[in-house]
């Protein structure tokens, strides 16, 4: 096990994905304490010489809270509108908090068509490269305001794996509302145990992922497994950890066991 965890030891560039359930309370309002902690850890890692990329969800969830809506809109225009409001609030918070630690962020809002079109993909890569060169921290979300069905990634787990590939990251860390992948659903089965390492994402492993996650976000464990697969096929390991403790990212970098580690191919 130590050998596989070592894969992320001394990583130079990591992509960290944080989900809506980690960024907001059930009230729909932002979890300020959590966001502050996350920004502090990422700023500190940046200070240590590492390059960090943040893929953040929460635009729709935070927008719903800010607009005072009772629930996430069921129609696309409703979700688009909520996202425009929430994305502002999110970036305001990130900009304010990263600035407190002397860091500069740059926002990239991406749709699937940006990746599928070779020219736009190239432009995107150039923008990432320049941001790294300038020493800024890229903060990414799906462009939910325009991401209607045909061009939607759908979930930021998938998006984070694509970003990890585009930026040639050494690792992908997914923060969520559960400790990692379990042998069965820990909410309903008290015998469920955390799986520390997944060598290969087989059908049996996918079968453990169960249903959807929280009502505020979009993905669930299955979209995280798909993300780990996408990243792994490009030689990038993924770790799924509980977003309650962003400090756990330090442990990952130290090569210690936390959450579920998904080995990369090759
Ligand atoms: N892009 C969506 C948002 O910011 C989240 C998608 C997801 O939850 O994976 O609200």
- Given pLDDT bands bounded at 50, 70 and 90, which one contains residue 208? confident
**Helix extents (H) in the chain:** 2-5, 20-23, 32-47, 59-67, 76-100, 112-116, 118-134, 156-166, 203-207, 221-233, 248-253
65-to-31, 34, 53, 92, 156 alpha-carbon distances in Å? 11, 17, 26, 15, 19
- Out of 18, 93, 111, 142, mutate this one to test ligand 1's pocket (max ligand atoms within 8 Å of CB): namely 142
Closest approach atom of ligand 1 to CA 61: 10
Q: Using the mean position of ligand 1's atoms as its centre, give its distance from the Cα of residue 249 in Å.
A: 21
- pLDDT confidence tier of residue 27, bands split at 50, 70 and 90: confident
Q: At what angle do helices 76-100 and 59-67 cross, to 10 degrees?
A: 100
- Nearest CA to 172 out of 52, 22, 2 is that of 52
Grade residue 2 by pLDDT with cuts at 50, 70 and 90: very low
Res. 264 pLDDT band, cuts 50 70 90: very high
What are the pLDDT digits (tens) for 77-127?
999 999 999 999 999 999 999 999 999 999 999 998 899 999 999 999 999
DSSP state of 24: B
For the chain, domain boundaries:
2-262
Percent of residues, the chain, with pLDDT higher than 70: 92
What is the pLDDT, as a whole number, of residue 8?
83
Is any ligand 1 atom within 6 A of the Cβ of residue 144?
yes
Contacts of 183 (CB under 8 A, 6+ apart): 191, 192, 193, 194, 195, 208
Distance 157 CA to ligand 1 centre (A): 9
Q: What atom of ligand 1 comes closest to residue 56's alpha carbon?
A: 4
Provide CB contacts within 8 A for 232, sequence distance 6+: 201, 238, 262, 263, 264, 265
159 and 118 Cβ atoms separated by less than 8 Å: no
Q: Which CATH number fits domain 2-262: 3.40.1160.10, 3.40.50.720, 3.40.190.100, 3.40.50.300?
A: 3.40.1160.10
Q: Is 61 in the pocket of ligand 1 (CB under 6 A)?
A: yes
- Residue 142 CA, closest ligand 1 atom number: 1
Report how far apart the first and last C-alpha atoms of the chain are (Å, whole number).
16
CA 126 / ligand 1 centre spacing (Å): 24
87 touches ligand 1 (CB under 6 Å): no
How many angstroms separate the CA atoms of 208 and 185, rounded? 8
Beta bridge mates, 17 = 55, 174
């Amino acid at each position: 096990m130590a050998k596989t965890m070592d894969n992320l030891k001394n990583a130079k560039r990591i992509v960290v994905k944080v989900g809506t359930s980690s960024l907001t309370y059930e009230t729909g309002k932002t979890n300020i304490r959590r966001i502050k902690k996350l920004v502090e850890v990422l700023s500190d890692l940046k200070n240590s010489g590492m390059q960090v990329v943040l893929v953040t969800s929460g635009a729709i969830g935070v927008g719903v809270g800010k607009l005072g809506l009772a629930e996430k809109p069921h129609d696309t225009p409703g979700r688009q509108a909520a996202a425009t409001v929430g994305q502002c609030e999110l970036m305001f918070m990130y900009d304010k908090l990263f600035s407190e630690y002397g860091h500069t962020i740059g926002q990239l809002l991406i749709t699937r068509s940006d990746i599928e079109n070779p020219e736009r993909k190239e432009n995107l890569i150039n923008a990432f490269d320049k941001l790294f060169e300038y020493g800024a921290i890229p903060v990414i979300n799906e462009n939910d305001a325009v991401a209607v069905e045909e061009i939607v990634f759908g979930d930021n787990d998938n998006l984070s794996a694509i970003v990890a590939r585009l930026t040639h990251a050494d690792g992908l860390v997914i923060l969520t509302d559960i400790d990692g992948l379990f042998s069965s659903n820990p909410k309903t089965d008290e015998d469920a145990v955390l799986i520390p390492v997944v060598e290969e994402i087989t059908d049996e492993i996918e079968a453990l992922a169960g249903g959807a996650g929280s009502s505020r976000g979009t993905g669930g464990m299955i979209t995280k497994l798909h993300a780990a697969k996408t990243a792994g096929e490009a030689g990038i390991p993924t770790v799924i950890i509980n977003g309650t403790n962003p400090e756990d990212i330090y442990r990952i970098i130290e090569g210690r066991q936390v959450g579920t580690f998904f080995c990369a191919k090759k």
